[in-house]
Amino acid sequence: MDAAAEEPRRREFKAYSVTEITNAIRELLTTSKIRVVTVEGEISGWKVSANGHAYFSLKDENAVIGCAMFAGPLAACAFRDQFKDGAKVQMWGRIDVYPKRGGYQLVVQRARLAGEGELMAKFNELKAKLGAEGLFDESRKRPIPFLPHRIGIVTSPTGAVIHDMLTVISRRFPNVDVLLYPAKVQGDGAADEVVAGLEYFNDPAKNGGFEADVLIVGRGGGSIEDLWCFNEEPLVRAVAASRIPVISAVGHETDFTLCDFAADLRAGTPSIAAERVVPVKAELADKVSSLSDRLSMSIAHRMENAVQHSDNLAMRLASSLKSAADGVSTRLLDVRARLVPALMRAHANASSTMAALAARLSPAARLGLNPPEMRLARACDKLRLLNPYSVLERGYSLTTDAAGNVVKSVVQVKVGDVLHTRLADGTFESRVLDSGKG
């Protein structure tokens, strides 16, 4: 049968309007078991309008579905800031038809990151638990030393992270001492190895006496799964318990882990941690030089002020002393002017008094002073006469025996006795040869 013969028969079918077809499809979806669904896919064309509604598509390798998430559900979604092109998500909502475009779409009521939903739930649960214990309190965080002598780093020994940190540290302060504890930072056992690194630096018996002033723990960027070891409870507690201040340097600026909250300082990246841990040596040297110059100028200025002050005091003291000396001299001259005439008058009065007393003293009284002198002279003459030694001057002598007894008779001596004879001008000894007895 040719086409011309078929044409009248086709006209027998009802023609549906676009609206009718669209409404029919909507009705089918309303009664379908997949009307309310959870769809997983990758965000494409993410856009938020001025009124707060989000319009985008979900796609996989083979298909695309349009989506709308209105302002209310979007504002209530905890993950809204992480929604962007390329993000893998799970969206829950209802399938609906949008008549003006003639297409179907998913009207999203709730959404979360695909594969990360359970991890984020665990993250938030552990964060709340440890936060309630006070592990994240700002009051327990310690300041990072301004200029540490020794730095301990716990990270992977391979890759760009450790190289970047060592490069930054050596450029800023070349002679600081750095020790690396090599540890896995991803996968099974990674958290245990990082904990072991923290314990190594906190125990001098283990690290050979390397007393670190500050520690850095961290790794480069990655997905939440890659960074998850830094959210594990034993590691978070080890960071909080470290007696040495800890800098957490995990991932990129937008990545957050529980170690960031427990550490004494969070650095957005490992390179930022290296910049925060030491100052620039050259800048310090310039600052020290500037402070030294300012100190020298300040000391010189103070010394100059002190000298001026001393000179002023000396001038004021000299002026005071001169004024005092002038006053004393004036008073002395005044006293002298009054004292000399008084002394002269007193001397004249005393002389007059003495002269008057001498004139009144009678001659008889003056003669009365002689008898005592005459009596003294006579007594002296008598003493000279009574002195036994005075006789010796007239040629006599005095002889005594060895015992000092005066020899008055020859009967007192015998032959051989030694006698002492005293004359007026000295003494001599003699021995008895003949006593003359008989």
Lowest mean pLDDT among 36-50, 165-179, 406-420: 406-420
Separation of first and last alpha carbons in the chain: 228
Instruction: Choose from 17-26, 80-89, 186-195 the range with maximum mean pLDDT.
Output: 186-195
CB neighbour class for 197 (10 Å; exposed up to 12, middle 13-18, buried from 19): buried
Half-sphere exposure of 415 (CA within 13 A, CB side): 4
| Residue whose entry in the numeric block shows the structure tokens 């993250």 | 123
Position 6 scores a pLDDT of: 54
Q: Does domain 13-114 have CATH number 2.40.50.140?
A: yes
Reported confidence tier of residue 361, pLDDT bands at 50, 70, 90: low
Contact (Cβ atoms closer than 8 angstroms) between residue 418 and residue 400: no
Tens-place pLDDT, residues 149-158: 999 999 999 9
Instruction: Choose from 113-117, 280-284, 385-389 the range with maximum mean pLDDT.
Output: 280-284
Reported confidence tier of residue 137, pLDDT bands at 50, 70, 90: very high
Position 312 scores a pLDDT of: 86
CATH 2.40.50.140 region(s) of the chain?
13-114
Instruction: Choose from 69-78, 127-136, 247-256 the range with maximum mean pLDDT.
Output: 127-136
Question: Rounded to an integer, what distance in angstroms lies between the CA atom of residue 323 and that of residue 328?
Answer: 9
Reported confidence tier of residue 56, pLDDT bands at 50, 70, 90: very high
Instruction: Choose from 46-55, 75-84, 429-438 the range with maximum mean pLDDT.
Output: 46-55
Is pLDDT at 26 greater than 90 in this prediction?
A: no
CATH number of 120-282: 3.40.50.261
Is pLDDT at 118 greater than 70 in this prediction?
A: no
- 318-348 burial string, b = 16+ CB within 10 Å, else e? eeeeeeeeeeeeeeeeeeeeeeeeeeeeeee
Reported confidence tier of residue 163, pLDDT bands at 50, 70, 90: very high
Instruction: Pick 197 or 356 by higher pLDDT.
Output: 197
CATH 3.40.50.261 region(s) of the chain?
120-282
Is pLDDT at 299 greater than 70 in this prediction?
A: yes
| Residue whose entry in the numeric block shows the structure tokens 């005439």 | 341
Determine the average pLDDT of the residues in 260-284: 91
Position 219 scores a pLDDT of: 94
Q: 420 - beta bridge partners?
A: 400, 429
Position 5 scores a pLDDT of: 54
Is pLDDT at 78 greater than 80 in this prediction?
A: no
